[in-house]
Structure 1
Amino acid sequence: MAHEVWADGAAYEAYVGRWSRLVATEFLAGLDQPPGLRWLDVGCGTGALTSTVLARTDPARVDGVDPSEGFVAHARTRVADPRVVFHVGDARALPLPDAAVDVVVSGLALNFVPDPARAVAEFARVLSPGGVAAAYVWDYADGMTMMRYFWDAAAARDPAARELDEGRRYAMCRPEPLRALWADAGLRDVSVRPVEVPTVFAGFADYWTPFLGGQGSAPGYVSSLAEPDQAELRELLRARVPTEPDGSIRLTARAWAVRGIAPARPS
């Protein structure tokens, strides 16, 4: 089985980071939080959501936490603001005290945490009463079409590739499992909504080249293939993805966004 790697920030940006920034903007618009709050970005990765929080909400402070030293290093170079502090850390044991923040967000990361229920319990712990906990994850099973085309083509030539397909592996990336995670953590007024953005590729090379970067399941699978097998998969994909007369490839990316409110603490 191909090994899933998340360490190279630049390669991640070329693969899905550029689309995650679009989703982050739509996600934050739906949260509609006032300025001057204390934010925590869990699984901050290369800083896409953190930078959007800065641009859109005028926060008092943002802490970003991610287990990847490479991603955190990349985030520190791209987000230069005295209100932001990035930490290498674990979502299951957040390096903040109780009731330390007003908003906890997590973008495209929760499905990679080995124990997501423990992570969401940590979200609730660090929130002040009435604070908001919200996250979004790709709809791998259906709505993240750049990956859907990839895995359907990969499985057509290699049935073993189905076991690496995120749509099969991440059952929590659907509305009801997300709703249950939030409710089980004691968060109230839980809601789930879709967030969809366009993913437009200039041409097939713009679509295919990011799969060569080694970051994530699909690129990891490509890197495990011998060159003739890579070429066969590439040409199968070229034949399958919908291409406009100008050569562009116009797809969409859908994420599921969940939010809930921290209850008042017992006196």
Structure 2
Amino acid sequence: MSRVYDDERLAGVYQGGNEMPDASLRDWVHLIGSFAGRSSPAVVEIGAGTGMFCSAMARWLAPSGVVGVDASLPMLTQAQRLNSHPAVHYLAGTAEAVPTRSDLFDLAVLSRVIHHLPDRVRVARELARILKPGGVTVIRTTFRERLDARVYDYWPRLRELDEQRFPSQPEVLEDFAAAGFTARTVTSFARPVTASLRDYHARMRSQPQSKFTQLTVAEFREGLRRLQSDAQDEPTTCPVPVTERYDIAVLSSS
């Protein structure tokens, strides 16, 4: 996983810059949980970050337990501070070496992290180890061929960079197949992340995603200026929610 996540500044702004309304987060959790195939699943999130999904799954899935794994100690510090829950346990570890015993989880979640993992076959083999037979991995990402985030409207060079960083759907499915996974379904799902473009501008000011570190100061400021201009033009009486769409790949272990 990219060591940019060891940046304490990024860890400090990540939650505020990536959170979503409760209704949207609940919808995501219910969708992801629907693939578990059983009630009260044991869940692991790889690349848990500040623990937003971990605590949400604990709240709305009634799991037997949730383990959040991340390589970044600053992120885990924020997770303990912002998203502690009696059913959630956070661990320092990597996707290639998860610090738990084998055959433990029903459901593994990788949300917006697969592009940080260069050795996907090794990651898939590790997931196969920690999942119970028939366990499920849910990958939440945007595949290279469908990069359509709102952020690219204001920082188009980020799309060019992400076309180099993000894997394609066939690449991910092939790598997981090499580790014994079977693709059950690939779909997409979209939900609002902010109530208005003004709110979206306010969160982007903090550069809350690692991709912004690839831009120059001038590039970031120019994109933010254009976003601010559009936000100011938005009618205050009828703001339009900003929606983010993600691809969902669901894979079953043997």
How does the TM-score come out when normalised to structure 2? 0.81
How far off is 1:235 after superposition? 3.0
Structure possessing the higher radius of gyration over alpha carbons: 1
Deviations 1:187-227 (A, max 9, x none): 125321111112344343x22233332443443256x415x
Say yes or no: does 1:94 pair with 2:98. Answer: yes
Q: Which amino acid is the alignment partner of residue 115 of structure 2?
A: N
Find 1:125's aligned residue among 122, 129, 138: 129
Q: Normalization by structure 1: what TM-score?
A: 0.78
Give the deviation of 1:35 after TM superposition. Answer: 2.8
Q: Which amino acid letter does the alignment assign opposite residue 224 of structure 2?
A: R
**1-side partners of 2:179 and 2:68: how far apart?**
21
- Match runs of 1:26-41 below 5 Å: 27-31=31-35, 33-41=37-45
Give the superposition deviation at 1:46.
0.9
Secondary structure, aligned partner of 2:19: helix
Name the aligned partner's letter for residue 248 of structure 2: A
Determine whether 1:225 maps to 2:217: yes
Residue from 212, 236, 242 that aligns with 2:226? 236
Change (3 A) 1:108 1:233: closer
Residues 31, 49 of structure 1: alpha-carbon distance in 2 compared, 3 angstrom cutoff: same
CA distance in 1, matches of 2:96, 2:108: 14
Please state how far the C-alpha of 1:149 moved relative to its aligned partner: 1.0
Give the partner amino acid of 2:164: R
| Aligned mate of 2:165, from 170, 176, 186 | 170
Contact 2:120–2:176 (Cα < 8 Å) also in 1:
no
Note the C-alpha offset of 1:143. Answer: 5.2
Aligned to 2:244: 253
How many residues were matched structurally?
A: 247
Shift in alpha-carbon separation, 1:36–1:203, aligned structure 2, 3 A = closer
- In structure 1, what residue type is equivalent to 2:217? L
Aligned residue for 1:98, secondary structure, equals: coil
Distance 1:26 1:175, change over 3 A: farther
What percentage of residue pairs aligned between the two structures are identical? 21
- Comparing 55-64 with 176-185, greater Cα deviation is found at 176-185
- 3-state DSSP of counterpart to 1:18: coil
Partner of 2:55: 51
Matched, 1:190 2:210: no
1:181: Cα distance to partner? 2.8
| 5+ long unaligned stretches in structure 1 | 156-160
Where does residue 15 of structure 2 map in the other structure?
13
CA RMSD of aligned residues (A): 3.0
Matched position secondary structure for 2:20:
helix
Give ranges in structure 2 of 5+ residues lacking alignment. Answer: none
Residues 187 and 249 of structure 2 are in contact (CA less than 8 Å); yes or no, is this contact kept in structure 1?
Answer: yes
